[in-house]
Structure 1
Amino acid sequence: MMKASGIICATVLLTACGQSTDKVPSGDPGSAPIRIVSLDYCADQYVLALAERDQILALSTESQDDYSYYKEEAVGIRQVRPRAEEVLALKPDLIVRSFGGGPRSTRLYNSAGIPVVQIGWTSDFASVRDVLTEVAKPLHAEARAEIIIADFDERIAALPDASSGQSALYMTPGGVTSGTGTLIDQMFTAAGLSNFETQPGWHDLPLERLVHDKPDVVAAAFYQSIHKTPGAWSPARHPIAQNTLESQNTIPLEGAWTACGAWYLIDAVEALADGGVAP
């Protein structure tokens, strides 16, 4: 199994062996971008995983926060706020974004002659692979994406085949959970668990149901902050939710694992598969 730093090291070696070190001047449509700017922390992860360090001009101001999966790799790289005047002043040759800058930012930067890579939505493992592959193309990083996907698939294949028969509830500090038809739902299935929340999509924790019915496992995202929820009215602060956290088998998930619905979600899958087995 290859973790984050191992994958990056492997792909850097592959790129160094397979490409000339000479840079093609920016502006050549056939050249790799050399002044990449990322506008949000989800985009940061793709840029850090796929681009060479000297291709990255700037990352978001959240690139080193706890919920940034590649926060250690982001150290030492310039940060920029997703404000048009600040981004344009850097003269990037490629912008990568998920949500940063707002819905009109792509049109604005395109009008300035700057291409924008919009990271797509992922709802299952297939779309995780597809989005990574598509983002890699304008970065000229297809080989790196293939390595990441191969590692992702290898780790999925290594998971136990049998279901544990246990149910799992996804819980966030904001009191939100994820039901069927979502990437979190597929995460549970891959880990051998069934989703306690049977309603599709994302919504508030089912507090009324938790009064008389409990999941076998609580998958607590952003676990370190789950007891100090930012919203005073968040369902996660309700005594029923707190009791569920304390009384059930709670598996802490690092916020970075699930924050952006990307390939590194496999870390959460493995943690659930290891911690959700029947005693």
Structure 2
Amino acid sequence: MRIVSLDFCADQYVLKMVEPERILALSPDAAAPFSYMRDAAVGIPTVKSSAEDVMILKPDLVVRSYGGGPNANGFFQSAGVPVLNIGWAGDLEGIKRLTLDMADGLGAPEIGAEIVSDIDARLAALKLQPNKNRALYMTPSGITSGSGSMVHEILAEAGLENFQDQPGWRSIPLERLAYERPDMIAAAFFDTNNVEKNGWSAMRHPIARAQIKDLPTVALNGSWMSCGGWFVMDGIEALAERRYTEADL
């Protein structure tokens, strides 16, 4: 099958599981800093997700998460082009199921099995012991996350409690941070974003900046956190390692 990938979340799975010669095109973000498989994307053509640009390539399969918009599935399928949609995963078990499904759909079940086996082995190697260290997830846009998100699950898998005690995606709790502090900071996307670009970001507040300046901080690469995939393990391992080296002292 000759494959076109419509967004950078789809790019990750296509680049991991498909031979380069079978990839007709990737999304324009395939080689961006927040793309985990960016090195593998070098030299592969890119295409905008518009129907016209994709159809002219005559793909045998379109792979997408959100690329092409809400009508993409219906359009490509009506034109006789199968679509492989990336499902949603809210935790590591979901990521493992999603990985196996994508591997089957891309004709590489053995690669999917290897990835899942690697996730299990890496989790077992962490040998986490319970502790009560609380981590606050922070981004340059001033956003954090509580329960019900992949971020929350990543912190839990690393053996940490989430300092954000309200569910969902929320602004950094500046008022609470004025009198209560977490044990450590999980700082994501600071490698790919500039805080100064957003004049309204809560990260510009001195209280927010003080957290990263004064507390043990784990830098979470944006490419680990942008999509739900096997690469979240890199973030889990980074958090778990720092938990024992600094946050417990």
Quick one: which amino acid aligns to residue 78 of structure 1? P
- 1:228 is aligned to 195
Alpha-carbon offset, residue 227 of structure 1: 5.2
Structure 1 residue 273 and structure 2 residue 222: aligned? no
**2:9 maps to amino acid:** C
Post-superposition offset of 1:195: 0.5
Identity of aligned residues (%): 45
CA deviations over 1:108-159 (Å, ceiling 9, x no partner): 1111111111111111111101111112222111111000110011001111
Aligned to 1:172: 139
Match 1:111 to one of 69, 78, 90: 78
2:91 paired residue among 124, 129, 138: 124
Which region of structure 1 is more displaced relative to structure 2, 155-164 or 57-66?
Answer: 155-164
Correspondence 1:63 to 2:30: yes
- CA distance in structure 2 between the aligned counterparts of 1:231 and 1:117, rounded to whole angstroms: 36
Q: Provide the rounded CA distance (Å) in 1 between the counterparts of 2:208 and 2:119.
A: 33
Q: Is the 8 A contact 1:227 1:237 kept in 2?
A: no
Gaps of 5+ in 2: none
Q: 1:202 aligns with which of 160, 169, 174?
A: 169
Q: Once the 2 structures are TM-superposed, how far is the Cα of residue 271 of structure 1 from its aligned partner?
A: 0.5
The Cα offsets for residues 74-114 of structure 1, whole Å up to 9 and x where unpaired, read as 11111111111111111111111111111111111111111
How far has the Cα of 1:181 moved from its partner? 2.6
Give the deviation of 1:217 after TM superposition: 0.9
Matched residue of 1:158: which SS? helix
SS for the counterpart of 2:144 is: strand
**CA deviation after TM superposition for structure 1 residue 73, in Å:** 0.7
Aligned-partner Cα distance in 1 for 2:67–2:213 = 36
Q: Is 224-233 or 88-97 further displaced after alignment?
A: 224-233
Aligned residues: 246
Residue pair 2:61, 2:81 contacting (<8 A) in 1 also = yes
In 1, are the aligned partners of 2:195 and 2:203 still within 8 Å (CA)?
no
Kindly report the root-mean-square deviation, in angstroms, between the aligned alpha carbons of the 2 structures: 1.3
Q: TM-score, normalised by structure 1?
A: 0.85
CA distance in 1, matches of 2:197, 2:84: 32
With the length of structure 2 as denominator, give the TM-score of the two structures: 0.95
Quote the Cα distance in structure 1 between the aligned partners of 2:196 and 2:166: 24
